């Protein structure tokens, strides 16, 4: 996700496995839709990618400002939680659309 050659301290703090877990949850929720057009799926995928990039960029800036390890730890925890915001937003939108079976969603 990082385009320059410098390693990202944010990407070191939140490893690819953590991002993959959030992406898997997002994809599972997205697949609950009865029909997902290819164009809609591409838009949702891009939105999630932009969301993750935003989280990492914001974390990068905050980590550079932190003066203690405790502050850094708090910022990393907040960023990890932020990774799941897009997935939860999809779940909310899906349920509001009335197309969700609550039991099917919980069975995941």
Q: If pLDDT is split at 50, 70 and 90, which confidence band does 99 have?
A: low
> Which residue intervals of the chain are DSSP H helices?
9-13, 16-30, 38-65, 69-83, 85-96, 102-106
Q: What is the pLDDT of residues 5-56, one digit of tens each?
A: 455 777 778 888 888 998 888 888 877 766 667 777 788 888 889 999 999 9
- Is 62:75 a contact under the CB 8 Å cutoff? yes
64 contacts 22 by C-beta, under 8 angstroms: no
Nearest to 88 by CA among 25, 18, 9: 25
Predicted local distance difference test score (pLDDT) of residue 104? 52
pLDDT of residue 97: 67
pLDDT number for residue 10: 76
pLDDT digits (tens, 9 = 90+) for 82-94: 988 888 887 787 7
**pTM value > 0.75:** no
48 within 8 A of 88, measured Cβ to Cβ: no
């Amino acid at each position: 996700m990082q385009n320059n050659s410098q390693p990202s301290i944010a990407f070191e703090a939140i490893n690819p496995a953590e991002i993959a877990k959030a992406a898997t949850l997002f994809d599972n929720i997205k697949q609950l839709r009865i029909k997902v057009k290819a164009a809609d799926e591409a838009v949702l995928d891009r939105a999630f990618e932009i969301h993750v990039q935003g989280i990492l960029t914001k974390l990068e800036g905050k980590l550079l400002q932190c003066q203690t390890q405790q502050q850094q730890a708090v910022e990393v925890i907040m960023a990890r939680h932020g990774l799941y915001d897009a997935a939860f937003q999809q779940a909310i939108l899906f349920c509001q659309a009335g197309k969700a079976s609550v039991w099917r969603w919980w069975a995941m």
